Amino acid sequence: MGSKSLKIQVGATNLKPMWVVASILLVGALAMLVGGVVMQLVYHIILAPLWVGIFAGILLSIPLEIWDFSNPDVIIKAITLKDRLLMVCFGLVIGLGAILLYALNLFVPALHWGIKAFFVPGVVIGGLIFGIGVAIAGYFPGTIWIALGQGRRDAVYAVVGGLLGALTWSLIFGQARYFFWDTLNFGPITWPTLFGLTTKVDELIVAVVFGILMISMWLFIPRRQGGKACVLHLTGKTREVMPLEDEISEFKEDYPKIPDYVIEAVSVQQPRSSRIIFALAFDFTLVAVAVIVLRQIFGESTTYTWIWAQILYFINPHWAASLPYFQLFGGLKIVNGVPVNKPFSEIGWEPLSDLGTFLGGLISSILITRRFMAFKPWAPHIWRNRFGNTSGLRALASFIGAYLVLFGARMANGCASGHILSGNLQMAVSSFVFFIAVIIGAIIMAYALYGLKPWTSR
């Protein structure tokens, strides 16, 4: 397909279906946020029911599936800064979310602050391991569930690897805790508290400054090497259209039934399609803040540990309940020598929100993007370019990479959801350091494994 015909086809695409989806998601996200505020201020209920987590997961995962963020190619390009759209979108989400969250903090009495403690060895080393695993597998803990909903075969191996990675950390935590969590532990510090600013008004002022810095990435960072800043596409100040022909070809090869309006919304930088990305980012922002207002835990990786806590409690209750890590996150404990299991007492709705994440990937891939892959043999294009279409080796990479991702996430006490998104939205210092460590680990491994260099178009 020539570039001229491609531009004409893109310009003629009917984007109404995407706007319908984005509008539904925005209404759902707004309802969740407003419902959380009303729940607290009017009904004086401070904890949302567990089943609401399913809808939170769906509202968070559908935009990610539309962005194709469950595709290892997309994640590897994003984490190595080769395609910066998602990084810029998450900067927008974090910036807007921080301002909105700390504004709500002025009058909503009981927000669920999930600020992670900054223990230097665990956060830094765990972040590096996490980034290395992401570069190998092309998955985050949450996107594994979306990919499973999409019907990606390698996601099956990633689930198994992730579960075993989480189990390994759970079993060694008692011995590893002193060095990784107790050494150089500065507690749950944020950017405001780091500078001695502790009043709610002070925190809001810092959030505004922090948010503007995050949002300003739209002003300066282009999506790809040699392109224009993302904000110019939203305002229509540039006529540049960037549907890369090889990327379109990959879409058509991987997803034969994908509608043109999805391709344009994801791959083309022009005002009308970029604004859909903007709308989806707003949905993501509202849900991320709503979760905190609803006083539930926002994360994806702890579920992997929780699953083992429930399995091992069924097999050997006393031994499982005596493990320190399961006592922290599995809902297990020993009371007067008797093992006790209260499954959701520590983890909240996270297992159900992860279920919603899976369902969102399934719903979106079947009904919206038509990317459902029915677990057919498939390998990412970045992988094929380096190793060929080697399904067995790719399965092993998915397993090993996901093992490292979950092991690193549990070591750092957070993942892409709990640390990078939710933690930075709350201006946690630990989450910012974790994110930097993840980027460094991913860039190093992607260069070693695939020969990918950051900040280049190829």
Domain ranges of the chain: 3-450
Tokens of 162: 């992730």
Nearest to 437 by CA among 115, 72, 129, 87: 129
Instruction: Report how far residue 104's alpha carbon sits from residue 317's, in angstroms, rounded to the nearest whole number.
Output: 42
**CB atoms inside a 10 Å sphere around CB 202:** 15
List phi, psi (to 5°) of 338. -110, 130
Predicted pLDDT of residue 5: 40
> pLDDT, tens digit, for every residue of 70-129?
999 989 988 887 777 777 888 889 999 999 999 999 999 888 888 999 999 999 999 999
Give yes or no for residue 155 having a pLDDT over 80: yes
pLDDT digits (tens, 9 = 90+) for 305-350: 999 999 999 999 999 999 999 999 999 999 999 999 999 999 999 9
Helix (H, G, I), strand (E, B) or coil at 341: strand
Give residue 278's pLDDT band: very low, low, confident or very high (50, 70, 90). confident
Alpha-carbon gap, residue 454 to 383, rounded angstroms: 17
Query: Within the chain, what is the greatest distance between any pair of CA atoms?
Result: 75
Which residue in this structure is represented by tokens 């395609």? 83
* Tens-place pLDDT, residues 14-26: 889 999 999 999 9
pLDDT above 50: residue 421 = yes
Two structure tokens written together for 298 = 């926002």
The total of other beta-carbon atoms located within 10 Å of residue 258's CB is: 17
pLDDT of residue 236: 54
Weakest mean pLDDT among 129-133, 171-175, 183-187, 252-256: 252-256
pLDDT tens for each residue of 430-452 = 999 999 999 999 999 999 999 88
Mean pLDDT across 236-246: 54
CA distance 147 to 158: 10
Residue-wise pLDDT tens digits, 388-410: 988 899 999 999 999 999 999 99
State residue 228's pLDDT score. Answer: 67
* CA neighbor of 134 nearest in space, from 457, 421, 456, 449: 449
Give percent above pLDDT 70 in the chain. 90
The CA-CA-CA angle for residues 57, 218, 6, to 5°, reads 85
Least Cα distance to 57 among 299, 409, 372 occurs for 299
Is the Cβ–Cβ distance between 53 and 287 less than 8 Å?
Answer: no
Q: How confident is the model at residue 1 (pLDDT cuts 50, 70, 90)?
A: very low
Say if residue 356's pLDDT is above 70. Answer: yes
